[in-house]
Structure 1
Amino acid sequence: MQRRTILTGTALGVAGAAFGVSRPAAARSGRSATEVVAVRGVTVIDASGGVRRGQTVLIQGDRILDVGPVQRVPASHAGTVIDGSGKYLIPGLADMHTHATGIDDTDPELYAVNGVTTTRQMSASSDAREWQRQIAAGTRLGPQWSIGSKIVDGSPSLWDGLDADGSVHLTVADPGQARAAVRQQQAAGAAFIKTYTRLTRESFLAIADESARAGLPFLGHVPDFVQLTEASDRGMRTVEHLFEIWYDTSAEEDRLRRGVTAVPIAGGDYNGWFNRMQPYEYAAARTYDRRKAERVFRRVARNGTFVTPTLVLHETNDMPERIDRQDPRFRYFSADMIGYWDWALDNLYLPGRTPAQIAESRDLFRRRLGLTAELAAVGVPLMTGTDLGTTYLMPGFSLHDELALLVRAGLPPIQALAAATLHPARYLGRHDQGMIARGAVADLVLLDADPLHDIRNTTRINTVFVRGHRIDPAARARMLADIEVAVQQPRPPATTPVAYRGCPCHGGATASTRVAGRVSR
């Protein structure tokens, strides 16, 4: 699909130019490298310092200059003073599981206006790399991206035939090819190696070894042929989704693993493979052994392995009947995007579901919530991620939905905020992010209501700071209005045939051919 880049005269790019709007309205707030901005009398909330009331936070450039009680930290020398009384300041949020789609060129701005200042791209993406370049050049405002390798899968791969040009996946048939894939992706600039579902145990262990040699994290799906505990013991940095966790925690693990490893696939047979796997997953969930699970989770926690539950993905896949097609937030997305979502729901998710299957999948989602709470209770560090690229999931907006689901699962709001702030910073090795402290990066979200009283108050956004760039209420309203107008504009003619792939983490749909895997793993 032809790229439509957002460029404006300020560092706060807006979405209007993405679709050829003749006069994009740039946000005016911006940032001066020398000006000091003070948020005075605010309640500061972060997972490292807890709740601190009556604080003044000073921001200069892209850093927090100082933070402390109003009596100690004067705001008199600040160029701009924001009244923080009755407001709440939290660190910028992180979406740690995303896939750039290439349909709408508005992801960076939608993240920014929603207070999402860090993202992790879970497969190689020219779109994400272009956004990263634009943001670094100051021609566009958006989150910091950590961009991974192509998906590394076994042979045959669930992606064979769905990714004809090899832009998102690599197939490895043996440990030698697995090691070569790690070296190749490191040379291509990958920040980490993404493992996938049908890797053999031998190839997976080769990736673990070669990644350690290269100094690269490896993470992603625990393959069908590998135990969660073994993957964690070998250094797997993060486990994505909850699918693979059930087997290690089942009282019938041996029997179920024999069934899982015997499931045959053909290249590109994502849908058939997924449908054959679902009964095993549900059986594992129903035979969940809490004592066994606690031992497994303590081992994972000791290893420092993070888990990204992606509950919004599971909710979408487990209960497609409950998707609200009239969500008012859809006004920020083009007819092309919404058309793909609707097509996928009608052709991939809903057909053939019986009342019994619907009841079973709802029960499975309920169990997923409980699993998430138990992971957190034992001390496994969780991170928020949405699996953007999956049907009806939205840049920025869906991260707030994920926070709400974590609290619904049983996490206290401060723990949910930790999953969106402090834990991603620790995973990234950053000790100057995910907190509100002197010297920390000025990624901040000013809220009009208390998120500890109701986690949904993270959507009550007043002002966002993205590395010190301030998006005040007026600028934020303009950016959203510009996006809403821009996505309604006629598209320039594409220079190549449109072939949109759904989330590379879960199979996908090719719009031009209707060849698809159910977007669900």
Structure 2
Amino acid sequence: MQPVIIDGVRIFDGTSVPGIGSVECADGVITRVDTDPGSRPPSSAEVIDGTGRTLLPGLIDAHTHVFGAESNLQQALAFGVTTELDMFMGPPEDTRALCRLAGERHDLADLRSAGLLASAPGGHPAVTMPTLPTVAGPGQADAFVAARQAEGAHFIKIMVDDGVNHGRSLPALEPATVTALADAARRRGLLSVAHVSAVWSARRALDSGVDVLTHLPLEAALDDAFVRRAAEARRVVIPTLAMLEVSAPRSATGVTRSLADGPRIAAFLSDHARAAITEGREGLCVEHPLPAHRFRHALSSVARLHRAGVPVLAGTDANHRPGRACPVVHGAGLHAELALLVEAGLTPAEALTAATAAPAARFGLSDRGVIAPGRRADLVLVAGDPTTDITATRSIEAVWRGGVRFDREAYRERVASRTAA
């Protein structure tokens, strides 16, 4: 494979901008990062002019639901998302097959998955999925985690939810059971991730020692005591602001809903995905908002967590697929998430870290998330400077996955032809 050099480019290495320079890739990995203005690229390399552009590590969406759809992973890659962390998918054999396929093909985002999640018997979502294995008490926790690990799960997802946000009143996992699940995952070297739906469930997950909390309450901001304890316990939060924004009352407009308005995004979306962004209501994490629900509560929680030093990761809860009109779609949704993280108080550079180096470090993806020699050549080239204007991430000029450039123009033409048909 011919070496590729992106030259004269602003480099965001995953945490900071070391300067203007060149990045060389060969055989799927980054071989050289050079900010010496006097260096000369080797004559054998393909040289890409990066003047006026910024090179980012491939973006990582830390919370998605792929539903077994290859098309979701291809759409994600078109928008610069080179890795997705799937938080619930089944059946296990299909999940394993798609993870394996995503690891082999360079035209799909790479994939890690929790596989089947842990929920209470008769709880959410088990009440509508009779074949989903459940956990009736602490004594069943270790067997549940062992079974998921044997099926190939990369981490353990725990549902701490009573169904109220979905118009139901259902059993939820008891505190001792959540603790037992988190402990069982830790013994087996797996991270535990808790879906939290409200203040009470966030507290239960925190008290139970779960490693990562995903979603945030809409009925109230997390208080200072909770934030302080989360920081002391070194917890991690994936707020999924894009999903919370469209789930909150009066969400007819907003950052996420407006994604389809701009040509940088819209040109790479199918008609169905565009309609889902603007009008869709399926797959929301809050289907029945209560009067106290406000999106500003989630923004306030992110600001408090971030100020306290709690790592905040960029994850969207994208769960759109053909035939399912969820307004948070794969790939595009992460650009809304980045803008909302900045709205919540992160700097643009901190938001970029939340979608690159931070999730790679927290989920053990030591081969990616950073532009450095020896790392995977998962890269995104954008026009402008997203470290000062986060919306510049939408001006994608090139995407590489494992050193192979994704043909975005061919993808755009396929989307356009399907739309015309």
Q: Which interval holds the TM-score relative to the shorter structure?
A: 0.7 to 0.9
| Partner SS state of residue 65, structure 1 | strand
Alignment match, 1:119: 84
Match of residue 419 from structure 1: 354
Offset of residue 132 of structure 1: 2.5
The answer on whether the counterparts of 1:88 and 1:448 sit within 8 Å (CA) in structure 2 is: yes
What is residue 268 of structure 1 aligned with on the other side?
Answer: none
Taking a change above 3 Å as real, the CA distance of residues 315 and 342 of structure 1, as seen in their structure-2 partners, is closer
Aligned: 1:193 with 2:167 = no
Amino acid at match of 1:396: G
Q: Distance in 2 between matches of 1:352 and 1:208?
A: 29
Name the counterpart of 2:323: none
Deviations 1:462-509 (A, max 9, x none): 1111111123xxx312212213324665xxxxxxxxxxxxxxxxxxxx
Contact 1:147 1:192 in 2 (8 A): yes
**8 Å CA contact retained: 1:425, 1:433:** yes
Distance in 2, matches of 1:373 and 1:479, equals 37
Q: How far does residue 352 in structure 1 lie from its aligned partner after superposition?
A: 9.4
8 Å Cα contact 1:101-1:389 kept in structure 2: yes
Query: What CA distance in whole angstroms lies between the structure 1 residues aligned with 2:149 and 2:385?
Result: 43
Q: Is residue 58–residue 356 contact of structure 2 (8 Å, CA) maintained in 1?
A: yes
State whether residues 97 and 122 of structure 1, in contact with CA within 8 Å, keep that contact through their aligned partners in structure 2. yes
* Equivalent in 66, 72, 90 of residue 107 of structure 1: 72
Answer yes or no: is the 8 Å Cα contact 2:247–2:287 preserved in 1.
no
* Alignment pair present for 1:173 and 2:108: no
Larger Rg: 1
2:244 alignment counterpart: 314
For residues 147-162 of structure 1, the aligned pairs below 5 Å read: 147-162=113-128
The offset of 1:230, in angstroms, is 6.5
1:346 deviates by: 9.2
- Which of 309, 320, 339 lines up with 1:404 in the alignment? 339
Deviation at 1:332, TM superposition (A): 5.4
1:345 paired with 2:287, answer no
Let me know the Cα RMSD of the aligned residues. 3.2
Question: CA shift at 1:337, angstroms?
Answer: 6.3
CA shift at 1:315, angstroms?
0.4
The question of whether the paired residues in 1 share the 8 Å contact of 2:273 and 2:329 is answered with no
Moved more, 397-406 or 330-339: 330-339
TM-score of the aligned structures, taking structure 1 as reference length: 0.69
Aligned length: 397
Q: Alignment partner of 1:42: what SS?
A: strand
The residue type paired with residue 239 of structure 2 is: P
Distance 1:123 1:349 in 2: 13
Q: Whole-Å Cα distance in 2 between the matches of residues 465 and 368 of structure 1?
A: 33
C-alpha displacement of 1:229: 6.0
CA distance in 2, matches of 1:155, 1:469: 45
State how far apart, in whole Å, the 2-side matches of 1:37 and 1:349 are: 42
* Contact 1:41/1:53 (8 A) holds in 2: no
CA distance in 2, matches of 1:116, 1:460: 13
Distance 1:397 1:208, change over 3 A: same
Residue 215 of structure 1, CA deviation:
2.0
- How far the C-alpha of 1:226 sits from its partner, in A, is 7.0
Structure 2 contact 11–56 (Cα < 8 Å) conserved:
yes
Gaps of 5+ in 2: 162-171, 321-325
SS of the counterpart of 2:17? strand
* Secondary structure in 2 matching 1:387: coil
Amino acid at match of 1:185: R
CA distance in 2, matches of 1:241, 1:459: 24
Structure 2: which amino acid aligns with 1:424? P
Paired letter, 1:55:
G
Counterparts of 1:257-268 in structure 2, within 5 Å, are none
Structure 1 residues 54, 339: CA separation in 2 closer, same or farther (over 3 Å shift)?
closer
CA distance in 2, matches of 1:417, 1:341: 23
User: Residues 374-389 of structure 1 correspond to what in structure 2 (within 5 A)?
Assistant: 374-389=304-319
**Which digits, 9 at most, give the CA deviation of each residue in 1:253-290, with x for residues without a partner?**
xxxxxxxxxxxxxxxxxxxxxxxxxxxx62x44xx64x
Which of residues 371, 381, 388 is equivalent to 1:453? 388
Equivalent position of 2:168 in the other structure: none
CA shift for structure 1 position 461? 0.8
SS at match of 1:152: coil
* Pair 1:393–1:65, CA change in 2 (3 A): same
Separation in 2, partners of 1:125, 1:87 = 40
Q: Compared with structure 1, are the counterparts of its residues 464 and 325 closer, same or farther at alpha carbon in structure 2 (3 Å cutoff)?
A: closer
CA distance in 1, matches of 2:332, 2:183: 38
**Contact preservation (8 Å) 1:200, 1:225:** no
Residue 62 of structure 2 is aligned to residue 91 of structure 1: no
Distance (Å, rounded) in 1 between the aligned partners of 2:47 and 2:95: 35
- Contact 2:63/2:85 (<8 A) preserved: yes
Structure 1 partner of 2:191: 217
Q: Could you say which residue in structure 2 is the equivalent of 1:305?
A: 235
Could you tell me which residue of structure 1 aligns to residue 165 of structure 2?
A: none
Residue type at the aligned position of 1:481 = E
CA distance in 2, matches of 1:466, 1:136: 10
2:23 matched residue in structure 1:
57
8 Å contact kept, 2:238–2:312: yes
C-alpha separation in 1, matches of 2:181 and 2:288: 39
Q: Is 2:117 the counterpart of 1:143? A: no
Contact 2:96–2:152 (Cα < 8 Å) also in 1: no
1:151 counterpart SS class: coil
**Pair 1:181–1:67, CA change in 2 (3 A):** same
Question: Is the CA contact (8 Å cut-off) linking 1:93 and 1:117 kept in structure 2?
Answer: yes
**How many Å apart are 1:124 and its aligned residue?**
2.8
Q: CA deviation at 1:420?
A: 0.4
Residue 396 of structure 1 and its aligned partner are, at CA, apart by 0.5
Structure 1 residues 349 and 113 mapped into 2: Cα distance closer, same or farther (>3 Å)? closer
Corresponding residue of 2:400: 465
**Residues 1:484 and 2:416 are matched in the alignment:** yes
Q: Is the 8 A contact 2:191 2:363 kept in 1?
A: no
Q: Secondary structure at the match of 1:55?
A: strand
Does the 8 Å CA contact 2:194/2:205 hold for their aligned counterparts?
Answer: no
How big is each residue's C-alpha offset from its partner over 1:145-169, in whole Å with a ceiling of 9 and x where there is no partner?
A: 11113111112212244224x2xx4
Q: Using a 3 Å threshold, how does the CA distance of structure 1 residues 221 and 79 change in structure 2: closer, same or farther? A: same
